Structure 1
Amino acid sequence: MERFQKFILLPFILAASLTGLGFCYSILNGPTNATVLAGSEARFNCTVENGWAILIWLLNTNPVLTVINSQGPIETSERFTSHSYNNSQSFTSELIIHNTQLNDSGKIECSIQKLDGSSFAFLSVQVNGSLLIKNSTLIVKENTTVEIVCEALGWAPAPDIMWMTNDSLIDKSRYVTQQSQGSNDLHNALSVLTMTPTNTEILTCLADIEALPNPQNASIAVIVGNSTLGK
């Protein structure tokens, strides 16, 4: 019975000892979600109370950078570096992921190697592909219905497509957009706008994903004339 009681008390004694050695620290602010374009940087901050011993950054459960209180960061890859910021009460580690790739998307975790000592966020890496309208100018006969094709290739995720005419949005009922799976986890989109122009119009196709500060665009001038084909 005495032996059993010692076994039960051991975890409590160990926990008390660790607390006495300075293990009573926690994560004050963990990383936050980020969405970036492939090839750019992604940055994550993790702030812990003073008294910490070791901080590990993980990407999709794989350790990518370790910070030791007594030594500083241990960087094993040029793609994963860090900055640190100290004050009287806390320490902040900033993980910097350079030249982000599509397969970097996933869970970013900050761990201080203790019970309830981790915090996580998610990284979304997106790819800005190409956008093309085949012709820059199209000359059509009056009262002729034409189809204008806009092609987006090599995006991640598939972009949202919109059309504008002379700086005004075109109703979605006037165009049809189809998405398809490309290679290397990339996506394509094909949007077809049907119209019967009565005057010269500048048509613009816009493709947008969250990481883009502004949508990518491609334009065509549709001119009502006597010929059916332009350059």
Structure 2
Amino acid sequence: MERFQKFILLPFILAASLTGLGFCYSILDGPTNATVLAGSEARFNCTVANGWTILIWLLNTNPVLTVINSHGPIETSDRFTSHSYNNSQSFTSELIIHNTQLNDSGRIECSIQRLDGSSFAFLSVQVNGSLVMKNSTLIVKENTTVEVVCEALGWAPAPEITWMTNDSLIDKSRYVTQQSQGSNSLHNALSVLTLTPMNTEILTCLADIEALPNPQNATIAVIVGNSTLDSSYSEDSTSTWVIVLAVVFSIVGFILLIILIWVVVRCCCLKKGKWNFIIDLYVKKKNKQKN
């Protein structure tokens, strides 16, 4: 009976012994998933009960930072640093990843070197690319169907494209968006909106990914003209050209007139000089004959 009682009490005695050696600590609160833009910071917290000995942070199974209870954090790279927070019951280690890169995406693990002593989360690093429209203004004739193109370049992941007109969302059936794989694991998207505007519209193309606080946007003004406006514009253009040509011809004519006057005066001066020379010779000859 005594041996049976000892057998029953053995797990409790062993647990008490392990507690005394510091084996009872565990992870109280592990890291949570994070989505950030490339180039920004990513932060993860791991909280363990007091009595811990070593805590290791791993990125995609590769150790990036170690914290030793008796020593503190051991940082081997400027890109991976940490802060620590203590209280009477627990210890919290904050991993800070600086200047995040696209290839940092993956599994973030907090480990306290026990069989069940690890907790993990996932980091998603996204890239905010460019959004362009070829023109800022498009002039179309009344009752004419046109296609407006919006292009997103160098994104990760591929952005979701939406369109708005005068601050109202446009139905997805009115535009088509195609995605393609670019270089360096980045994505491109080309969206084409087809419309027949009846009045002047302000169109906005929006590209969005999870890490962006607000979608990126590009805007174009679609101006509708009619035949009266077109003819008026044509007449105004013709009148403008006539005025320009008249001014140009007037200036050219004035310059030619000045050149002509200069040539005439020059010729007259030369002729006058020649006659004076002949008269001088004649006078000298007469004077010699008298003498």
TM-score for the superposition, normalised by structure 1: 0.91
**Which structure has the larger Rg over C-alpha atoms?**
2
Kindly provide the CA deviation profile for residues 136-175 of structure 1, in whole angstroms up to 9, marking residues without a partner as x. 0000011111000000000000000000000000000000
User: 1:208–1:216: 8 Å Cα contact kept in structure 2?
Assistant: yes
Q: Are 1:65 and 1:74, in contact at CA under 8 Å, matched by a contact in 2?
A: yes
Structure 1's consecutive aligned runs of 4 or more residues displaced over 2 angstroms after TM superposition are: 1-20, 226-229
> Does the 8 A contact of 1:141 with 1:228 survive in 2?
no
The answer to whether the 8 A contact 1:139-1:228 is kept is: no
CA-to-aligned-CA distance 1:170-212 (integer Å, 9 cap, x gap):
0000000000000100000000000011110000000000000
Cα displacement (A) at 1:68: 0.4
CA shift digits 1:89-136 (9 cap, x unpaired): 000000000000000000000000012000000000000000001100
What is the Cα deviation at residue 14 of structure 1?
Answer: 9.0
Indicate the residue corresponding to 1:156 in structure 2: 156
Q: Where is the helix percentage greater, Structure 1 or Structure 2?
A: 2
1:23 to 1:151, Cα distance in 2 relative to 1, 3 A:
same
Q: 1:12 to 1:87 in 2, by over 3 A?
A: closer
**Displacement of 1:227:** 9.5
SS at match of 2:6: helix
Tell me the distance in 1 between the aligned counterparts of 2:228 and 2:211.
39
- Tell me the distance in 2 between the aligned counterparts of 1:209 and 1:5: 64
Identity fraction in percent: 93
Which residue matches 2:177?
A: 177
Deviation at 1:23, TM superposition (A): 1.4
More deviation, 2-11/78-87: 2-11
Equivalent positions of 1:179-198 (< 5 A) are 179-198=179-198
How many Å apart are 1:20 and its aligned residue? 2.9
* Alignment RMSD: 7.0
What SS does structure 2 have at the residue aligned with 1:11?
helix
Native 8 Å contact 1:139 1:227 kept in 2 = no
Which stretch of structure 1 is more off in the superposition, 218-227 or 124-133?
Answer: 218-227
Residues 157, 6 of structure 1: CA spacing in aligned structure 2 closer, same or farther, 3 A cutoff?
Answer: farther
Distance in 1 (alpha carbons) for counterparts of 2:61 and 2:202: 50
Higher relative contact order (CA 8 A, sep 6+): 1
Q: 1:16 to 1:179 in 2, by over 3 A?
A: same
CA deviation map 1:33-77 (0-9, x unaligned): 000000000000000000000000000000000000001000000
Q: Distance in 1 between matches of 2:36 and 2:132?
A: 23
- In the alignment, structure 1 segments of 5+ residues that lack a partner are none
Between the aligned partners of 1:135 and 1:76, the Cα distance in structure 2 is 50
Alignment partners' CA distance in 1, 2:7 and 2:182: 59
Measured after TM superposition, the shift of residue 225 of structure 1 is 1.6
- Tell me if structure 2 keeps the 8 A contact 1:150–1:205: yes
- 2 CA distance for matches of 1:105 and 1:227? 57
Change (3 A) 1:144 1:56: same
Preserved CA contact (<8 Å) 1:30 1:46: yes
Note closer, same or farther for the CA distance 1:113–1:137 as it changes in structure 2 (3 Å cut).
same
Helix, strand or coil: the match of 1:228? helix
Instruction: State the partner residue of 2:106.
Output: 106
Distance 1:228 1:134, change over 3 A: farther
Return 17-26 or 140-149, whichever deviates more: 17-26
8 Å contact from structure 1 (residues 152, 207) kept in 2: yes
Aligned residues: 230
